[in-house]
């Protein structure tokens, strides 16, 4: 039973969500736990906990934790990324709240950061930088930044990068690793050259089937003989017109945290296939076996939550699944019942595009189609918007659900459990209090 202590939490939540979140976790009420489900709760106690009536209470799934009671708090701050959630500071892992991703293209200040090791930032001299292309090629290359920029045609695209572990926090039992919520996704504009053009110049041998990428960051142990991460993709992805070697993000040199001076973007695939501080492209005659190639995999068949799955039964993740965010308003908004609420966000679908976006204000009983824009180019996220009218006062949640070009929809609840907590593309929702 939610006690007196929860009374008024909604009020605090709508004024100062971070403080309210902190209070929720510090109180550790017995009626619900962070990962557990609410014990069967009646309308009266649920309303009391939220501090408001709940018009569509009857549609709430059993054990459902209303969003107003289920967020986390922020402690650390990283320079240039103020206001974002710091999940880890060694290595640096930071994500924005969903409402900070409202821009059409993600500014560097709001783009998530996922580091596996220790970047050598501050020790990087761009004019001495050399990119090596070797392995299964007839003409190995060593390119300075100048050579790369002058030899190949430039392309600028808006490209989405999402960490394979985005949404990991939703899995139960929990997976090890950064507990990403919704923010490990960004879509910024990048300028660079096509990886395909560079590989053409290096002349791929017919034995070339996979790439292996190496950056200059050190292993987290500081051991210079170890690599922090080295992943790659099948050659077909490397040859895609939108797989770029980039040096510019949103019209500026690539920021240090995002891979200055060079990185690859393999858009729509787990972010781990987009190496930062790029030094070497190794063309392989087999599936790359670099550091962490055994990670970013999911079971080939559905498994029981908590199961351990042998590596031979795990498949490498390629395209990321369809997903969307509500980026405006911020969750916890308070509105008057007579007013309409304009909401908007983004939707994306890995290698696919998004065909439709629907929203619901009654816990999924009915759905309304939102306006959905086409992507500015393939692999850019798509903006959507909708206007809502709430029938009565009370606590509502707005849910958003994208459908991709193949007809695949986002699930409402977290999808199939997997040991490392990848690919959680459950719907995003915001809390709305109508008075």
Ligand X SMILES: Nc1nc2c(c(=O)[nH]1)N[C@H]1C(S)=C(S)[C@@H](COP(=O)(O)O)O[C@H]1N2
Residue 18 phi, psi (nearest 5): -65, -40
Closest distance of CB 181 from ligand X, Å: 14
Query: How far is the C-alpha of 257 from the C-alpha of 264, rounded, in Å?
Result: 14
The answer to whether 316 and 418 have CB atoms below 8 angstroms apart is no
If one counts every other C-beta atom within 10 angstroms of the C-beta of residue 75, the result is 8
Report the residue number, 179 or 433, with the smaller CB distance to ligand X.
179
Return the residue of 50, 163, 196, 317 that touches Mo ion, per CB under 5 A.
163
Contact pick of 192, 215, 259, 271 for Mo ion (by CB under 5 A): 271
Angle, CA 170 vertex, CA 341 and CA 81 arms, to 5°: 70
Query: Mask 266-305, x = binds ligand X (CB under 6 A)?
Result: -----xx-xxxx----------------------------
Q: What is the CA radius of gyration of the chain?
A: 23
How many whole angstroms separate alpha carbon 70 and alpha carbon 123? 42
Nearer to ligand X, 41 or 178 (CB): 178
Q: Could you tell me the smallest distance in angstroms from the CB atom of residue 116 to Mo ion?
A: 8
Torsion, Cα 193 198 200 201, to 10 degrees, reads 130
C-beta separation of 183 from 97 below 8 A: yes
Least distance (Å) between residue 260 CB and ligand X: 11
Site string for Mo ion, 285-304 (x = CB under 5 A): --------------------
DSSP 217: P
420 lies in the site for ligand X, by CB under 6 A: no
CA dihedral 193, 268, 274, 140 (to 10 degrees): -50
User: Which residue lies nearer to Mo ion by CB, 113 or 427?
Assistant: 113
Q: Does 47 bind ligand X (CB under 6 A)?
A: no
Dist. CA 175–CA 421, nearest whole Å: 5
Site string for ligand X, 205-234 (x = CB under 6 A): ----------x-x----------xx-----
Residue nearest to ligand X (CB): 271
Residue numbers of the site for ligand X (CB under 6 A)? 111-117, 161, 163, 215, 217, 228-229, 258, 271-272, 274-277
């Amino acid at each position: 039973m939610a006690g007196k202590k929860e009374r008024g939490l909604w009020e605090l939540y709508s004024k100062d969500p971070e403080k309210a979140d902190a209070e929720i976790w510090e109180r550790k009420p017995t009626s619900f736990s962070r990962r557990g489900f609410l014990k069967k709760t009646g309308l009266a106690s649920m309303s009391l906990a939220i501090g408001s009536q709940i018009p569509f209470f009857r549609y709430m799934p059993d054990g459902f934790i209303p969003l107003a009671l289920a967020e986390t708090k922020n402690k650390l701050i990283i320079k240039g990324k103020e206001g974002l959630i710091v999940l880890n500071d060694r290595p640096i892992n930071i994500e924005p709240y969903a409402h900070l991703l409202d821009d059409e293209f993600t500014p560097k200040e709001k783009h998530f950061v996922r580091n596996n090791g220790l970047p050598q930032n501050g020790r990087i001299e761009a004019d001495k930088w050399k990119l090596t292309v070797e392995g299964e090629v007839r003409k190995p290359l060593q390119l300075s930044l100048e050579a790369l920029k002058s030899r190949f045609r430039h392309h600028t695209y808006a490209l989405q990068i999402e960490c394979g572990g985005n949404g990991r926090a939703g899995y139960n039992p929990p997976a090890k690793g950064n507990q990403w919520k919704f923010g490990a996704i960004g879509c910024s504009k990048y300028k660079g050259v096509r990886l395909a053009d560079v590989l053409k110049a290096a002349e791929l041998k017919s034995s070339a089937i996979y790439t292996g990428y190496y950056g200059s960051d050190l292993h987290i142990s500081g051991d210079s003989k170890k690599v922090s991460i080295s992943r790659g993709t099948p050659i077909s992805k490397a040859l895609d017109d939108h797989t770029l070697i980039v040096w510019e993000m949103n019209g500026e040199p690539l920021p240090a945290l995002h891979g200055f001076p060079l990185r690859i973007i393999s858009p729509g695939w787990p972010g781990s296939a987009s190496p930062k501080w790029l030094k070497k492209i190794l063309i392989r005659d087999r599936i790359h076996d670099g550091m962490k190639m055994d990670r970013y995999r999911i079971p080939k068949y559905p498994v029981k939550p908590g199961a351990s799955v042998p590596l031979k039964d795990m498949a490498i993740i390629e395209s990321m699944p369809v997903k969307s965010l509500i980026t405006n308003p911020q969750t916890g908004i308070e509105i008057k019942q007579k007013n309409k609420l304009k909401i908007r966000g983004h939707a994306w679908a890995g290698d696919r595009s998004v065909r439709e976006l629907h929203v619901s204000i009654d816990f999924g009983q009915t759905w309304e189609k939102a306006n959905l824009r086409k992507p500015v180019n393939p692999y850019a996220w798509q903006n959507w918007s909708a206007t809502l009218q709430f029938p009565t006062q009370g606590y509502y949640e707005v849910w958003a659900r994208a459908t991709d070009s193949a007809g695949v929809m986002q699930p409402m609840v977290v999808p199939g459990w997997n040991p490392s907590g990848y690919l959680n593309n459950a719907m995003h929702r915001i809390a709305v209090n109508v008075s």
